[in-house]
Amino acid sequence: MLLNPVISKLSSKLVVLASASPRRLEILTNAGLRFEVVPSWFKETLDKSLFKTPYEYAVETAKQKALEVAQRMPFKHLKTPDIVIGADTVVTVDGLILEKPTDKQDAYRMLSRLSGKEHSVFTGVAIVICQEKSGSNTEYKVVDFYEETKVKFADLSEEMLWEYINSGEPMDKAGGYGIQALGGMLVEYVQGDFLNVVGFPLNHFCKQLGLLFNSPTENPAHKIKREDLSASDRSWTVFSSLSKCVANGEVEQRETSNGRDANQTSMREQNVMGTECSTRERQDVPHSIMNLIDGFKASKTLFTAAKLKVFDVLNSSDGLTLEEVASQINASVFGTERLLDAAVSLGLLEKQLDSTLPLYRNTEESRRFLVSDSPLSLHGYILHCNDMVWPLFSHLDSAVREGTSQHERAFGKIKKDMFQDVYYSQDDVKMRFMKAMHSIVKVTGKDVAMAFDLSAFETACDIGGCTGAMAYELTDAHPGLLVTVFDLPRVIEMRRHFQPRAHNERVTFVAGDFFKDDLPQADLYILARILHDWSDEKVHVLLNKLSQVCTPGCGLLVSEILLDEERRRPSRALFQALSMTEGKQRSAREYNDLLEKHGFATQEIKYTNNLLDAMLFIKKDSNDKRTLLASSSASIETAELV
């Protein structure tokens, strides 16, 4: 293989793919490359009119994706990558760039343009090489290139167009088609790299890696300097000073033999691209282990800043001095400085140094997700993690030994039932919990609501729908849908605190206990973050009730964090399971098996790359059981492939 000459040189490096594309993941995995997947948060909103050619737009987008991940990982993941790979694929026809369709009509417009014509597929690729320099500077060397492939479509009839669109395949594909699957039936010929059309030009990529690692004189990399962005050693120092501030108010300044602060000595100096580093030397610096050891400090920094409403205070101005922030959060100047600088190192705040006094301000991401009254605020969930989850995890050793929740140790009382315990407590505790649940749905609800075509359903019931956040997202995404939110009376009583300003008559609320009371009639039921909370016995009680109330063709939308089958990839669900609740986290196949026992067949699976994934089940007709079983099995196999 073309990669063989460089695989050995990459094996000791942290290689990251800045893309959630299952097609790119499969292509690179099959080539033998070992890497981690960290999807980029870069918003693909570059002005296409500013680029002379489509490939320049694709290359720049790929570069921005890769750089965003390279700069974020030291702060969000507490580890610095060695190589980050970014890619962006666009389809062009008649001078127009076609990216992913927004809906079925958009897919129809795209495919109609391609019908009977030859078009070009461009993939821009950026390889970012991260090199830590002295001090807190990081240098990024970038190799970028593009590949063009010509594709000719057959003349497509209306019937063929809509049959393909209704298959659902076009919706996450550039240009509205996937050549490696059903879309291949639309194609007359391909001129060039087939894998480029799939999403990644493997041959060209291998050649560029060869130049990078085997031909130094032809090295195509060019430098992009970013200072104070991704030095993990800087974050280490800031977190250390925070803990010392808490302990005794003093920070010990340790000097190395050459006069440098030892805390400022780069932890990864022996892991810079081009530096020969033996296996023994790398084992002497266990970066990933040290990052895990210090990971809790980053979490607590965020929790404390949110609890003190630092982000709210900074949102009211275009920047505040240290003293102004300390005054408004009623904290010491000394402690506030440590907290703010730690938040800056995590990318949660910005620090402006070109004024008389340094000014602190929120980042764009903090304005969107951390200010308490922002539409997508996670403030409620962060406080829930700090006040309820953190104390439980401080007793994790006991939880593992005993295999039980540590609620009594953490809070001094026995927990009988998670939701009854919350909802029969004081109003401020209920409100805090409901805000936490509401904030999660506000961030992920739109992706779940738009995951599937629900036009076949007229009425829906959101079981345990809490504040109605998911119901409102569903009615926004599907104008013909009426949704009933079914939850405990004490939840329904407090829903007014979360209702949107614009009145939505298509969302109604009904009080009841979904274990004890009759469920409202509907032709689609929603279980969002419900099944993982309860014991197998209670889950079967609930699903049995649903099976009895559902007629053949009735839908069931399940939204949870889907585990990978082998439990090898880090997951919020795996860590959440450590709280030792009576519930269970499951993979897509396990949910399929669970619902199969109650007469539901898997219709479709959607990995959203958001906080929750989604599965759509259909109640089977008992007279057609064998056919539906085969359909269910095929759906799961397809989901695993993508």
Q: pLDDT tens for residues 609-635?
A: 888 999 999 999 866 543 344 344 434
Domain 444-641 has CATH 3.90.1150.10: no
Alpha carbon dihedral 409, 412, 414, 416, in 10-degree steps, equals -110
- Dist CA 49 CA 332 (whole Å): 50
- Dist CA 450 CA 608 (whole Å): 10
Structure tokens at 440: 């999660």
Classify the phi-psi angles of 259: left when phi > 0, otherwise alpha if psi is within -120 to 50, otherwise beta.
left
The residue among 126, 130, 121, 171 whose CA lies nearest residue 150 is 121
What does the domain layout of the chain look like in residue ranges? 4-227, 290-374, 444-641
- Dist CA 478 CA 457 (whole Å): 9
Q: Please say whether the beta carbons of 620 and 601 come within 8 A.
A: yes
Residue 512: pLDDT over 80: yes
Mean pLDDT for the chain overall: 81
pLDDT score for 414: 64
- Dist CA 112 CA 249 (whole Å): 68
C-alpha to C-alpha distances, 51 to 48, 55, 59, 222, nearest whole angstrom: 6, 9, 10, 20
Q: Please say whether the beta carbons of 486 and 457 come within 8 A.
A: no
- Dist CA 283 CA 619 (whole Å): 54
pLDDT score for 238: 55
Residue 283: pLDDT over 70: no
Q: pLDDT tens for residues 45-83?
A: 788 888 889 999 999 999 999 999 998 887 766 678 889
C-alpha to C-alpha distances, 6 to 13, 16, 146, nearest whole angstrom: 11, 16, 21
Query: What string of DSSP letters covers 103-160?
Result: SHHHHHHHHHHHTT-EEEEEEEEEEEEEEE-STTEEEEEEEEEEEEEEEEEPPPPHHH
Q: How many helices (H) and strands (E) does the chain have?
A: 26, 17
Q: Which long-range contacts (CB under 8 A, 24 or more apart) does 490-497 make?
A: 490/423, 490/424, 490/430, 491/423, 491/434, 491/466, 491/467, 494/427, 494/430, 494/431, 494/434, 495/467, 495/468, 497/431, 497/434, 497/467
Structure tokens at 506: 């298509």
Q: Which residue is listed with tokens 């036009």? A: 455
Instruction: Determine which of 391-400, 489-498, 542-551 has the lowest per-residue pLDDT on average.
Output: 489-498
- Dist CA 115 CA 187 (whole Å): 9
pLDDT score for 185: 86
Q: pTM of the prediction?
A: 0.55
Architecture of domain 4-227 in CATH? Alpha-Beta Complex (3.90)
b/e 80-107 (16+ beta carbons within 10 angstroms → b): bbbbbbbbbbbbbbeeebbbbbeebebb
Residue 424: pLDDT over 80: no
Residue 318: pLDDT over 70: yes
pLDDT score for 219: 62
CATH class for the domain made up of 290-374 = mainly alpha
Q: What are phi and psi of 280, to 5 degrees?
A: -60, -45
Q: Is the dihedral of CA 223, 226, 228, 231 positive or negative?
A: negative
Q: Is 88 a catalytic residue?
A: yes
Classify the phi-psi angles of 242: left when phi > 0, otherwise alpha if psi is within -120 to 50, otherwise beta.
alpha
pLDDT score for 640: 35
pLDDT confidence bin for 216, thresholds 50/70/90: low
Q: What is the mean pLDDT of residues 457-461?
A: 96
Q: Of the listed 47, 82, 88, 144, which one is catalytic?
A: 88
pLDDT score for 522: 96
Q: Please say whether the beta carbons of 107 and 95 come within 8 A.
A: no
pLDDT score for 20: 84
